[in-house]
Amino acid sequence: MSPAARLRPLLGGDEREHRRRAGLEHLPGVAAMAETLLQLAPNDPDGPAAGAAAHCDALRRRLRERLPDRIDDLVVHGPPDAAAPHIVAVSTLYCDGESLVAELDRAGFAVASGSSCATTSGEPSHVLVAMEALTSGHVRVSLGVEVTVADVDAFVDALAAAVAGLRAAMFGAP
């Protein structure tokens, strides 16, 4: 950036950094985060963080395996050994993503439609298009440590029922 650039601060600051930064860092929050990270022991392969990641990864793998077996014309996005052990993204033909979100919400599941960086333009996600992925009926599922195998199985049943219901409404009962 040019030294002649004029920047307006969003928040009023003190004398540091030519009044471009507002106040001090939140030191109690920094100390709390440091202690939390020490307790979670993220670098300990037997620590709680590793256990949580392994739990979520096992659930993710189960979800990736069961969904295509239960739902025709469903695509699971990404490689099986994805970098994020807690996210599964799928698309289904002949369904609208927002309709799936609404149906799953009624069944007690909170999911998102589109990619996490999608806009609200109503256009297909540019990320999914760039991946040459199926963009219709897209939902993204996040798994946490509180999620159980029974929850995953119930979600598979709920998504299968939602897809069947939406397709039946579109094409009529088989």
Q: Is residue 3 part of a domain?
A: no
Give me the torsion for CA of 165, 147, 33, 50, rounded to 10°. -120
Say if CB 113 and CB 100 are below 8 A apart.
Answer: yes
Does 142 lie in the same domain as 87? Answer: yes
pLDDT computed for residue 158 by the predictor: 98
> Residue 9's pLDDT band (boundaries 50, 70, 90)?
low
| 4 in any annotated domain | no
83 and 99 both lie in a single domain: yes
Model confidence pLDDT, tens digit, residues 15-65 = 666 666 666 678 888 899 888 888 777 778 888 888 888 999 999 999 999
119 and 87 share one domain: yes
Give me the CATH number covering residue 139.
3.90.1150.10
Q: How many domains does the chain have?
A: 2
* C-beta separation of 86 from 56 below 8 A: yes
Q: What is the rounded CA–CA span in Å between residue 109 and residue 104?
A: 5
* Per-residue confidence (pLDDT) for residue 15, from 0 to 100: 62
**Residue 21 within any structural domain of the chain:** yes
Q: How far apart are CA 65 and CA 88, in angstroms?
A: 11
Residue 40 has what pLDDT?
A: 76
Domain identity same for 126 and 154: yes
Domain that holds residue 34: 10-40
pLDDT one-digit tens code per residue, 97-141? 889 999 999 999 999 886 665 555 566 667 777 766 676 788 999
- Retrieve residue 74's tokens: 């469903």
pLDDT at 117: 59
pTM of the model: 0.72
Statement to judge: residues 120 and 163 lie in one domain: yes
In angstroms, the Cα distances linking 119 to 24, 84, 103, 113, 139 are 34, 22, 21, 11, 15
The Cα 13–Cα 107 span in angstroms is 48
Q: What pLDDT, in 10s, does the model give residues 133-164? A: 676 788 999 999 999 999 999 999 999 999 99
Please report, as a single letter, which amino acid is at residue 139. Answer: V
Whether 104 contacts 142, CB under 8 Å: no
Q: Which residue has the higher pLDDT, 171 or 106?
A: 106
pLDDT score of 141: 94
Which pLDDT value is given to residue 42? 72
